[in-house]
Amino acid sequence: MHSRRPFNGILLRKPIAFALVGALGYLMLASGTIALTSDGRDHATVWPADAIILALLLNSGRRHWPLLLTAGWLGNLAANGLTREWTIGIILYGAINMGQVLLAAWSLRRSGDTRNLLSDVRAVGRFVIWAGLFAPLMGAAVGSLVASVNYNVPIGPSFIRWFASNSLGLLVCTPFLNAVFDGSYRRCFAAKSLWERGETFALMAIHAAVTIFVFGQNHLPILFLSFSSLLLLSFRIGRLGTYAGVMLVAIIGAVSALQHFGPMALINEGAAFQAIFFQAYLATLLVTTLPVAAIVASRAEALGNLAAREETLRLIMAHSPDVILSFDNDGVCRWADGPVREYLGLGPEELFGNPAAAIALRTGEELLVASGRPTDERGAEKAIEFSPILQPSLTLEASFRDLTRDGMIVGRVVTLRDATARKAREQAITIQVETDDLTGVKNRAGFRRHVRAALADTSRPCSVAIVDVDHFKIINDRYGHQVGDAVLMEIAQRLTAGIRQSDIVGRIGGDEFAILFQCDLETAKLACERIAYSISQRPIFSDDTLLVLTSISCGVAGYMPGMSRDQLFEAADTALYQVKRDGRNGVRAAG
């Protein structure tokens, strides 16, 4: 993706002012380097002036590039006119320099985002290739020919000197100037605390002192010391510290070399060789520290992003209705976040670092199941529902999924959701669907579901009673459906009043009821006899003008191992038929 970032939002509003900055900056840097490092005929030892224009190009929209390139060319022309013998050929120097700057800027903008030239190792590679190799090679090829024509200097040495000076100037100065122009130094300084600012200034002062010590004496070849202080800047400050540190070494080293003092003076091969050696030293400094700075910056950025993501996750979890628990492969809790105490009655600190078995003793065995053995299908999510021991009024849904790495299960994540409201709605719907509208007891479908559940539970006995209201058709025909409905409702109430809370009453037909007893046959028979007696002894309906008496017939059957539901109902129905045949108003157990 190509960068379209403007120069800090300013260059688009004041392009002429910044073109003047580029022209004047180019003039001063170019004039100084020509005067100090060239005899007026050959190329300067270091050429930092192009870096000003390159940094401005990278921080501006392309429609402003012609203006900035023109400004750079005028600055180059003025500098060469002031410091060299005036010839028509110096007009070409500016064109060549602007050509290589344009190539570098265009290539860098195409190859990646230029907001941070050295944001990572790959960005360092792109910058070195385009600004340190291809662009200077192009300029050196044309520039050496112009120098040969203008000043009759050998092409080979001229080519090497041009390439080395331009490459070094772009590599050393562009990152620093780019950071200055785009406001990186200003933002970095503003974001630091007072202590961090003090540390930055102290580290820069140490680096400057070490560099001055290295280049301020000509007895010991201790150039390596600047590496150590520069690496310290890279690790503590990052890219911006590296840019400024390299600039310090370049400036202090250049001043020392121009005065023919410092460790370079120990080289007895002449000024030209000393200049080449200094260029090689700066290049080595760059090649060594820039990747380190890029790696440090990448890690710092990654850590910053990770911290930001963790803070975002923490905020999300703080406002999330879900609890997330993470267990390693040994079943030890390694993460607990969300409304943990509200759901489980335990704080996150009481879960973290504890095995699932210990946690389950205080929350419920279901959590041990959720955090324990791997699922049958790796990666598949499963769910169970449970009520925590310390929060029995809640119903939690625990969904769990295995964590895998390289195909191996390394743990499990458990998500707890409050399913209390949903469970209540489901139960309300179930009750509504399974309830008889008239009497309020279970309807046929609801009663049969409870029977299935009771038969599946082999831990306790069960029995079924089928109840008929005696002569109900006569009551309904003689007194009307309104009285008939009242009779059915009263029958249902008396049946319900005569059983335990664990037993179930259902209306399975017009005037036919059934009772599911969680007890043996004899106990169920006695309960039915009490109910039948209470119904026969008191009016089932009465008002100011009417008194209705009735009774019930009841057949009871106990569940035997191997018996199906239909067989159980058939046995109770057979017993009921016997009661009706014997005159009704009675209870009979299936024999």
pLDDT for residue 407: 78
Q: Is residue 429 one of the residues assigned to a domain?
A: no
Residue 489: the pLDDT is: 95
The pLDDT of residue 484 is 93
Do 303 and 218 sit in the same domain of this protein?
yes
Q: Which of 126, 155, 182 is the last residue of a domain?
A: 182
SS3 state of residue 192: coil
Q: What is the structure's pLDDT at 376?
A: 47
In one letter, which amino acid is 326? S
Q: Rounded to an integer, what distance in angstroms lies between the CA atom of residue 143 and that of residue 163?
A: 9
Report the pLDDT averaged over residues 183-211: 90
pLDDT at 569: 94
Q: How confident is the model at residue 226 (pLDDT cuts 50, 70, 90)?
A: confident
pLDDT above 60 for 40:
no
Please say if the pLDDT value at position 10 is more than 60. Answer: no
Once rounded to an integer, what is the mean pLDDT over residues 296-324?
71
Comparing 306 with 208, the larger pLDDT belongs to 208
Same domain, 95 and 117: yes
pLDDT interval class at 119 (50, 70, 90): low
CATH code assigned at 370: 3.30.450.20
Top mean pLDDT of 98-112, 312-326, 528-542 is at: 528-542
Q: Angle CA(307)–CA(312)–CA(316) in degrees, nearest 5?
A: 145
**148 shares its domain with 246:** no
Residues 417 and 403: their CA atoms lie apart, in Å, by 19
372, 399, 422 - which closes a domain: 422
Lookup result for tokens 């562009």:
174
- Contact (Cβ atoms closer than 8 angstroms) between residue 349 and residue 356: no
Residue 374 CA: distances (Å) to CA of 133, 323, 416 = 56, 20, 18
Q: Rounded CA gap, 105 and 218, in Å? A: 39
Q: What is the CATH number of the domain that holds 526?
A: 3.30.70.270
- Region of poorest pLDDT, from 18-32, 127-141, 247-261, 460-474: 247-261
Lowest mean pLDDT: which of 8-17, 431-440, 485-494? 8-17
The residue among 354 and 267 whose pLDDT is bigger is: 354
pLDDT band at 115 (very low <50, low <70, confident <90, very high): low
The share of the chain scoring above pLDDT 70, in percent, equals 88
What is d(CA 538, CA 577) in angstroms, rounded to the nearest whole number? 25
Name the least confident of 258-262, 322-326, 532-536.
258-262
CB atoms within 10 A of CB 85: 12
pLDDT score of 128 more than 90: no
Answer yes or no: do 192 and 178 share one domain.
no
Picking from 119-133, 237-251, 261-275, which range would have the lowest pLDDT averaged per residue?
261-275
**528-531: long-range contacts (C-beta < 8 A, 24 or more apart)?**
528/465, 528/467, 528/554, 528/556, 528/587, 529/587, 530/498, 531/494, 531/495, 531/498, 531/499
Segment 384-406, tens digit of pLDDT? 888 899 998 998 988 888 888 77
Same domain assignment for residues 392 and 280: no
Is 50 a domain residue?
yes
Per-residue pLDDT band for 461 (boundaries 50, 70, 90) equals very high
Buried b (16+ CB within 10 A) or exposed e, 443-453: beebbbebbee
Q: For residue range 251-300, what is the model confidence (pLDDT) as tens digits?
A: 888 778 767 777 877 777 766 677 677 777 877 887 777 777 767 767 76
Structural domain span for residue 58: 1-182
Residue 430 lies in a domain: no
Catalytic-role residue among 42, 436, 503, 511: 511
**Is residue 228's pLDDT more than 80?**
yes
In a domain, 152, yes or no: yes
Confidence at residue 143, expressed as pLDDT on a 0 to 100 scale: 83
Instruction: Determine the Cα angle at 279 with ends 140 and 246, to 5°.
Output: 115
Would you state the structure tokens that stand for residue 546, as one six-digit string?
A: 């009417």
Same domain, 439 and 542: yes
Does residue 7 surpass a pLDDT of 50? no
Same domain, 153 and 56: yes
- Report which of residues 495 and 260 the model is more confident about: 495
In a domain, 427, yes or no: no
Instruction: Compare 62 and 489 and report the one with higher pLDDT.
Output: 489
pLDDT tier, 4 (very low <50, low <70, confident <90, very high otherwise):
very low
CB atoms within 10 A of CB 130: 21
Residue 373 has pLDDT above 70, yes or no: no
For residue 397, the surrounding DSSP H or E stretch is strand 396-405
Q: Given this model, what pLDDT does residue 116 score?
A: 66
Band of pLDDT at residue 503, cut at 50, 70 and 90: very high
Cβ-based neighbour number of residue 88 at 10 Å: 8
Q: In which region does residue 394 sit, left (phi positive, over 0), alpha (psi from -120 to 50) or beta (all else)?
A: beta
Residue ending a domain, choose from 387, 422, 457: 422
- 473 and 575 together in one domain: yes
Same-domain pairing of 143 and 44: yes
Q: Is residue 428 part of a domain?
A: no
> Domain tally for the chain?
4
The per-residue pLDDT for 316 is: 64
Section 160-179 average pLDDT? 85
Strands 552-558, 586-589: pairing kind: parallel
Across 480-489, average pLDDT: 93
The CATH number assigned to the domain holding 69 equals 1.10.1760
543 is catalytic: no
Q: What would the pLDDT profile of 130-148 be if each residue is shown by its tens digit? A: 888 899 999 888 888 887 8
Do residues 94 and 32 both lie within one domain?
yes
Residues 255 and 135 occupy one common structural domain: no
Record the tokens describing residue 167, joined without a space.
Answer: 């490459």
Mean pLDDT for the stretch of residues 556-574: 93
Do residues 10 and 142 both lie within one domain? yes
Phi and psi at 421, nearest 5°, equal -65, -40
The per-residue DSSP string of 168-183 comes to: HHHHHHHHHHHHHHTT
Q: Where are the alpha helices (H) located in 112-154, listed in sequence order?
A: 121-129, 135-151
Among the ranges given (116-120, 388-392, 450-454, 523-527), the one the predictor scored with the smallest mean pLDDT: 116-120
- Quote the pLDDT of residue 9: 41
Q: Is residue 173 part of a domain?
A: yes
Element spanning 43, H or E: none
What is the average pLDDT score of the chain?
84
Q: Output the pTM of the full model.
A: 0.52
Is the pLDDT at 375 greater than 60? The verdict is no
Contact by Cβ (8 Å): 335, 326: yes
Q: Which of 293, 451, 323, 290 is nearest to 394 (CA)?
A: 323
E strand segments, 294-381: 323-328, 333-337
Average pLDDT (341-347) is 90
Query: Is residue 416 one of the residues assigned to a domain?
Result: yes
